Amino acid sequence: MFLIDCFSRTRVLVVGDLTLDEFLTGQVERISREAPVLILRHESTKQVPGGGANAVYNLAKLGATVKAGGLLGKDEQGRSLHELLVVAGIDTQGVFFDPHRPTVTKTRISGHSRQSVTQQIVRVDRKSEQLPDTDLQQQLAAYIYSQIDSVDAVVCSDYGDGVLTQPVINAALAHPRTIVDSQTQLAQYQKATIFTPNLPEAELAVGYQIDDATTLAQAGKDLLALTQATHVLITRGEQGMSLFRRDGVVTHIPAFNRTEVFDVTGAGDTVVAALTLGLASGASFWEAAILGNLAASIVVRQFGTTTTTALEMKTALQALLEE
């Protein structure tokens, strides 16, 4: 409980691919006569921070003082996401607007019938394959360098959308406590403090399937060698997490919630947020991983990209201790 109480004293800079998650929901009326597709009567549209912005939002909801670093397009989606961050009390001085690339937007369209649960039907992604201009890369890197001494940790939330170029990565790695959540190119983040790949991301990085205890143990060793990190935490869904240390010690942490999983969207960002705040509050890597696991067990019970709070974590922890 003490570590969770310390969350509000921490200061974190998140550098990442800031994304707007949109959720359009409607009731299925009939099959279209124009094509074999469903016609939905629109009921609601919800916009929430996604991608790296979800990591930012999770940290803020857990009580930390958060600075955001990244790029948004000069478009309606960028303005909406920027407003969401500002309203949440997040410092957006490190968020720059890119006139040549759109704000990364992921629109999930979901439907339901009158007596059924809501289910996602399709997702539409809006983004650019082009890298940001060199001037913007340098501007973001300069901002990160200027903040290194004022934060307790730096989080790199890399969804592969082009914000984390090498100059930006080098700036982030200048901090002694850098947490990396990257879907690809883990080797670019040499000697970061800890990496948090999920199972598919770990398999992509090592180049082979992880399907038993032997391959899992080998993957941990290979990821440590690849990244030169002090720790690697592989998140494995309902099988929990595995924490690997450079000295060869491996700790397996079971999932705290296997039966009430409704939606895993954004759960990795929640893990990173709670893990980071744990480390910044003085937790051991094992304790920080437990906190990340606990936070994820709460958000997967809800539909869509969601967050949790320190109070909810304390309540969930108390319930676990009483079992």
Please give the positions annotated as active site. 269
- Long-range Cβ contacts of 88-93 (<8 Å, 24+ apart): 88/49, 88/57, 88/60, 88/61, 89/60, 90/56, 90/57, 90/60, 90/66, 91/65, 91/66, 91/67, 92/68, 93/67, 93/143
Burial of 84 (0-12, 13-18, 19+ CB in 10 A): middle
Of the candidates 257, 141, 166, 153, the one whose C-alpha atom is nearest the C-alpha of residue 196 is 153
Burial of 165 (0-12, 13-18, 19+ CB in 10 A): middle
- Long-range Cβ contacts of 222-225 (<8 Å, 24+ apart): 223/186, 223/195, 223/197
CA 7-13-15 angle, to 5 degrees, is 135
**Residues 238 and 260 sit within 8 Å (Cβ to Cβ):** no
